[in-house]
Structure 1
Amino acid sequence: MAKTTFDTNPVLLQTLLKTCEDGKLQLPDFQRSWVWEEDRIMSLIASVSRGFPMGALMSLKSKIGEGVIFARRPIEGAPVAAAQMQPEQLLLDGQQRMTSLYQSCMRRQVVSTITAKKRLVNRWFYIDIRKALNAEADRDSAIIAIHEDRKIMLPSNKGIDIDLSSPQLEYENLMYPLNQAFNWDTWQEEFGDYWIAKGKPELRELFKKFKNDVLKNFAEYQVPVIALGADTSHEAVCLVFEKVNTGGKSLDAFELLTAIFSAKDHKLRNDWLGYDETSIEKGKEKDDKYEWLGVKDHNDPDLRLGVQKRLAAYGRAAGQAQGVLAKIAPTDFLKAIALLYTKELRLAAIASKPDKESEWPAVRATSESLLALPLEAYKKHCSAVRAGFERAARFLRQQQIHRVVDLPYQTQLVPLAAIFAEIGGKADHTTNNDKIARWYWCGVFGELYGSAVESRFAKDILEVPAWLDGGPEPSTVIDGVLRADRLLTMRSRLSAAYKGLQALLLRQGAIDFRSGQAFDQTVFFDEAVDIHHIFPKAWCESQKLPASLYDSVVNKTPLGYRTNRIIGGVAPSSYLEKLEKGKAGSNGQIIEPPIDKAALATYLQTHCIPVPELYANDFAGFMKARQKLLMELVSRITGHAAPTTAEAAEEGEELTTSMAHDSGLELIEAD
């Protein structure tokens, strides 16, 4: 692999902004706006005004004279002539910072920005000269955002508080316009003349101090710029792009592919987020039929909805805001397409060069493979992959996985959707559906989709369809073995197998202790089903049992909200007795009907709960017996016998709740 070359040089901020204005430094066209919040713009200006660092920029040098790889556009607000320039560099990291500083500190037009209430407004930015020179004042308080008419109104519009609508009013209020941060000579001269005429020539000295202490920080401000060489590979650009961006908006291979497709006049972002009326009208002019999106015509509401919202809403239950596909990222969608496309290339190479395995291209879903995805291949597979994700949602419903939070692996949806996209109607045959279910659960309980997933994806798309056609078992099925001791270390939703086990209990017909209903999709949401302790946490603590045991998945099961309220914090024998006896009111009316003991025992058994041990409050016996029952349940779905020999325990231990939160990991527990 070729070495990635780059330069690291400090560049004057004024020089950078001038190259933006001239079109020498442009942006890859990600088809998105770079409007920043006014508070962030003011904070950035305050940092520059004090000479504080704002972080490095990263750019990619252009190959002059070569074809366009990324569509590009000038920084927002640059003169029209800038678009005609061949850029010397493309800005990869720092788009919002450069856009905000160019518009507020160099361009002589009002700045579009966003308020704290998420309203799009126009603002002029000023520095309060007196506050900026006050060493005791917070510099951020000296940066002022003024309405488009350059006036600040008193509360309830009871008059004008500050009026800066003319240079003379700026002088009078000692407010310096930031769009002259690099060009203060004329303003300084006229400011001096104004105050001499007013009989206060000493204010000229105030401005000189302001110029030396504040404005010169803008003129002398240097920004570190990391410039990637023009020969940097797509893969390296994408990796750097994903890892270094610090501006708040996520930037990844989807953004780069958006710019690549934009150079071919295709609006990838519109496919994902939906087409507005202007875009649809332009499409009509080009006679676009949008067949790659699987829509009927220009009036199809799905065209305006976009793939993202269509998938997020697909298969949701009544009253559910979003379905199980709500967190599908655009890169997930593109990876599924890349799997199908690169598999096509490999099969074609095998057919044409059967004896030259070294020349067969790999099946891949890496960032580099996404950037190498031809527009034609994207259009060919887009509709099928969308249908594949929708089929995946129906499959997950069959497996009793209804919410994003209950998904064992978000990553496993990529090969699942790609497989469904390829096999089409074959998925509806019961034998094939059972095989796909076995593959899915082997991936979950083998915990195979937590890292190095791209190589696993490639194996899946090659091996699973072949398995359905009579080929050998896929690697994921072979590798998907759960160790018995692992059950005792799974304590939270950070573990895919933890979530998988709860779904598997629902799948095999777990019945709620109180209602006697199986947890189909309707009951699941009506009863607010979640994962709860069987031996209640409060009781376990009173018995001085270790949390490492009572918090494990062996002591948890899916239960309805009202059932969990009845369980409370008492011993199992006590809450079982409450369920059997029911509850009567003061006048004898039945509030909670009694439950037959034999029926209750049956309900418990559907949760793989050892009934005698639970009634006896035998925690140790319960844990041992239920561990065995859960392993048998997993073995039935994966086809692997429970390991009978002792295996090496997994390295390390599960994160604590506080550590997971501090690390920014998703962790949602019911109790």
Structure 2
Amino acid sequence: MRVSTILDHIDDGAIALPEFQRGYVWNRDQVRGLFTSLYRGYPVGSFMTWSTAAETAAARGEPTERDGTIKLLLDGQQRATTLYGVIRGRAPRFFEGNDSTFLGLYFNVVEETFEFYARQKMQNSAEWVSVPDLFANPGKYYQQVLTLDTPEARNGQYVTRLAQVTGIGDRDMHVEEVTGADKTIDVVVDIFNRVNSGGTKLSKGDLALAKICAIWPEARHQMNEHLRYWRERGYDFSLDWLLRVVNGIVTGKARFTALADRPIRQVQTGLGLAFTYVNQWLNVIAGHLGLDHARVLFPFPLVVLARHMHNTGGRLPDAFEQARLLYWYIHTGMWGRYAASTETYLAQDLEAVDEAGVDGLIRLLELSRGDLAVRPEDFTGTSMGARFYPTLYMLTRVMKARDLGTGVPISNALLGRLNGLQVHHIFPKAKLYAAGYQRGQVNAIANFCLITQDTNLQVSDADPAVYMPEIESRVPGALASQWVPMDDRLWQIDNYPAFLAARRELLSTAANTLLKRLRSGQLDPAMTGPVPVDAPYPVFVSDDDAADARSEEVDALVEWLTAQGYAEPERDIEIVHPDTGRVLSVAEAAWPHGLQEGLGEKVVLELDEDDFDEDTLAALGYRVFTSIGALREFVERSSSGGLSTMP
């Protein structure tokens, strides 16, 4: 089938993408590689489609009015999307991903190379031609290259080269069809996994969703709408997570196989209930714990809280039980209960909540951990990615810690310019580095507090021995409200380790006080929800990382990678052992699903060489990089040969 015919079939809906396929994951090097190969006449692989009845086909994108059959792409999605995006100059109807990866491709008639638009190099240059514009109006560019004053232009070689580019549309591609009444969704998904042995495998959640979409094609779209709603409000949940919430509500089980066999009406009802239950619990958690955005929220306990709500007739429990459920919720996050063996622990907790409600959940937590007391050493983590950073944030909000500049209790509802919240280093980074302290000590959680941006700018990198007495004089009690030790000898740079130890003591005492109150069933009546989930804007808390050159280097690396079409990493993230829950690294950046989503090995950027378990990370399948240069070199080297096989 000719490339142009394939694109026409995508336009009229004859070729579509099955719902179980994931989004677009190619990078710009792969886009250039495909068009270079096609231009030179090299083989680029074939396509595989599943021919199925149009009225029952679970295809992604805007629905089309079609009778008869529809061809769903099983193999060749990335190539088909790239061909369509570059030649048509827009994404196809079934697109999910970053369209900047393929938009803006240009061809150089002199060098016979493909590159993405760069204004300085290409603006007002007749030798650079926009590929989609060339396909739309080839005559215009034939005339353009004739203006070049070279022998090749005069003898028509450049026109021939442009015709060779547009000839890609006439290239014949082999299309293999999977047909027959015996080709059920299970069989087709198995075929998909086999032909994509070097690419993205379908997870158990993908398979469950594929079965659901085979009967209810709008399922994926509806779920993505819910996820978009939450994302706009600062909560970044995944499709797999939402499916787990639905599964918990409908079946009370953790394994997706339980959901895949349920009548579709139950799944539809469960999705609606999941949206309602999660919203209500997000308001409770934000209102009573102050955990109001993705960085500080623990998502997996919401699966169990939604099941509990379902068991109690779809209504939130009374204040006494809410408090005890929040006590359980905090502990699951602090100890990383779902960070390791998520499905196993979800199964245990769903069974416990069905059998004995919140009492069963707390009892199970005590059996697994023994002592639930918070100790000073629990606050020894570093960076905003550490497990106890949300606890510090929660204490700041619940205990009404006060801004060091204004004395006003910390809240994300503060109005006015420069009143956004920032994580402030009590002992400034620059002074600690100058005194010889290492990055792990500098970025210790016990050196963090939350203040407004305006106050942060005023304090800047002042010496604590100087600015702390001024704050105590101007806003008495503000420092103590932030658990700052009031022994002024600890405010000296030389005594920084003792300051950290003393503040950890104060933080652990505050945490235990709050937890004791919640376990006894007491909610603070003065604590109200500062940002309900229905608020029209997300919460944002920034770090005062402007003075940290290494953070700026990581930012630049991430910007470069995403511009090339690679996945956005998780930043300042704890990586734990899947069986023991032991923290292996607090990485500057991590790609747990590969630099290209679902393709290749897991990648970690860990710049504190003496502060992580490299051997265990490697055993778990992570490729570890301990310098930004090494990771960049790996990407550049891999791109020249393709970071992964061409799907």
TM range (shorter): 0.5 to 0.7
- Distance (whole Å) between structure 1 residues aligned to residue 28 and residue 426 of structure 2: 51
Show CA shifts across 1:96-132 (max 9, x none).
414665999xxxxx957359x979x999x9999xx5x
What residue number does 1:455 align with?
344
Contact 2:328 2:362 in 1 (8 A): no
The answer on whether the counterparts of 1:510 and 1:607 sit within 8 Å (CA) in structure 2 is yes
- C-alpha change, 1:506 and 1:472, in structure 2 (3 Å) is closer
5+ residue gaps, structure 2, are 93-97, 116-127, 147-155, 518-579, 596-602, 608-647
Q: What is the rounded CA distance, in whole Å, between the counterparts of 1:341 and 1:235 in structure 2?
A: 26
Whether the aligned pair in 2 keeps the contact of 1:528 and 1:560 (CA below 8 Å) is yes
1:336 CA drift (Å): 0.6
Q: Which residue of 1 is the match for residue 254 of structure 2?
A: 364
How far did 1:574 drift?
Answer: 0.9
1:199 aligned partner: none
Out of 303, 315, 338, the residue aligned to residue 247 of structure 2 is 338
Asked if 1:575 is matched to 2:494, the reply is: no
Partner of 2:35: 45
Contact preservation (8 Å) 1:44, 1:54 = yes
Contact 1:399–1:504, Cα closer than 8 Å, also in 2:
no
How far off its partner does 1:393 sit?
1.7
1:515 deviates by 1.5
Q: Aligned-residue CA RMSD in angstroms?
A: 5.7
1:97 aligns with: 79
* Cα deviations by residue, 1:533-590 (Å, 9 ceiling, x for unpaired): 2222233234333443342112222222233233332332311232255xxxxxxxxx
Residues 102 and 561 (structure 1 numbering): CA distance in 2 closer, same or farther, change over 3 Å?
closer
Listed as ranges, the matches of 1:479-490 within 5 Å are: 479=368, 481=372, 484=375, 486-487=377-378, 489-490=380-381
Structure-2 separation of matches of 1:564 and 1:74 = 47
Distance 1:517 1:413, change over 3 A: same
Q: Does 2:238 correspond to 1:323?
A: no
Partner of 1:607: 482
Separation (CA, whole Å) in 2 of partners of 1:610 and 1:243: 58
Q: How does 1:229-268 map to 2 (within 5 A)?
A: 237=190, 240=193, 260-264=211-215, 266-268=217-219
Distance 1:476 1:580, change over 3 A: closer
- 1:633 equivalenced with 2:510 (yes/no): yes
**3-state SS, counterpart of residue 549 of structure 1:** helix
Letter in 2 for 1:455: T
Please give the per-residue CA displacement for 1:39-58, whole angstroms capped at 9, x wherever unaligned.
9867523223336675897x
In structure 2, what is the equivalent of residue 84 of structure 1? Answer: 69
Q: Equivalents in 2 of 1:30, 1:494: separation in Å? A: 32
Alignment of 1:257-656 (within 5 A): 260-264=211-215, 266-272=217-223, 306-312=225-231, 322-325=232-235, 327-343=236-252, 363-366=253-256, 368-369=257-258, 371-401=260-290, 403-423=292-312, 427-464=316-353, 466-468=355-357, 471=360, 473-476=362-365, 478-479=367-368, 481=372, 484=375, 486-487=377-378, 489-523=380-414, 527-580=419-472, 594-595=474-475, 600=476, 602-613=477-488, 617=492, 618-638=495-515, 654-655=585-586
| 2:14 is aligned with 1:137 | no
Question: 2: CA distance between counterparts of 1:61 and 1:70?
Answer: 13
Q: CA deviation at 1:441?
A: 0.7
Specify whether residues 636 and 335 from structure 1 end up closer, same or farther in structure 2 by C-alpha distance, changes over 3 A only.
same
Deviation at 1:637, TM superposition (A): 4.2
1:657 is the counterpart of 2:588: yes
Contact kept in structure 2, 1:531 and 1:556, CA below 8 Å: yes
Deviation at 1:508, TM superposition (A): 2.0
Q: Which amino acid aligns with 2:329?
A: Y
- For 1:266 and 1:231, locate their aligned partners in 2 and report how far apart those are by CA, in whole Å: 15
In the alignment, the residues of structure 2 paired with residue 263 and residue 508 of structure 1 have an alpha-carbon distance, to the nearest angstrom, of 50
Shift of 1:419: 3.5
* Contact 2:490/2:499 (<8 A) preserved: no
State whether residues 308 and 353 of structure 2, in contact with CA within 8 Å, keep that contact through their aligned partners in structure 1.
yes
Gaps of 5+ in 1: 1-11, 105-109, 164-169, 184-217, 274-305, 313-321, 344-362, 582-593, 641-648
Structure with higher RCO (Cα < 8 A, 6+ apart): 2
Deviations 1:348-376 (A, max 9, x none): xxxxxxxxxxxxxxx2244x455445311
CA distance in 2, matches of 1:238, 1:475: 41
387-396 vs 553-562, greater mean Cα deviation: 553-562
Matches within 5 A, 1:48-87: 48-50=38-40, 71=57, 83-84=68-69
| TM-score normalised per structure 1 | 0.58
Q: Distance in 1 between matches of 2:41 and 2:306?
A: 51
Contact 1:408 1:495 in 2 (8 A): no
Distance 1:103 1:575, change over 3 A: closer
Deviation at 1:474, TM superposition (A): 4.5
Q: Among residues 28, 45, 52, which one is paired with 2:18 in the alignment?
A: 28
Give the Cα separation in 1 of the matches to 2:260 and 2:198: 18
TM-score by length of structure 2 reads: 0.60
Q: Distance in 1 between matches of 2:192 and 2:333?
A: 28
**Partner secondary structure for residue 514 of structure 1:** coil
Question: What does 1:112-123 align with in structure 2 at a 5 Å threshold?
Answer: 113-114=90-91
Instruction: Specify the alignment match of 1:150 in structure 2.
Output: 137
CA distance in 2, matches of 1:239, 1:471: 42
Distance 1:74 1:269 in 2: 8
Q: Is the 8 A contact 1:529 1:561 kept in 2?
A: yes
The count of corresponding residues between Structure 1 and Structure 2 is: 498
Alpha-carbon distance in 1 for matches of 2:248, 2:287? 25
Distance 1:402 1:84, change over 3 A: same
Counterparts of 2:82 and 2:513, CA distance in 1? 59
Matched to 1:267, the amino acid is E
> Are 1:70 and 1:259, in contact at CA under 8 Å, matched by a contact in 2?
no
Give the secondary structure class of the aligned counterpart of 2:340: coil
Cα distance in 1 for partners of 2:65, 2:277 equals 45
User: How many Å apart are 1:627 and its aligned residue?
Assistant: 1.8
Distance 2:23 2:496 in 1: 59
Give the Å deviation of 1:307: 2.8
The change in CA–CA distance for 1:148 and 1:564 in structure 2 (over 3 A counts) is closer
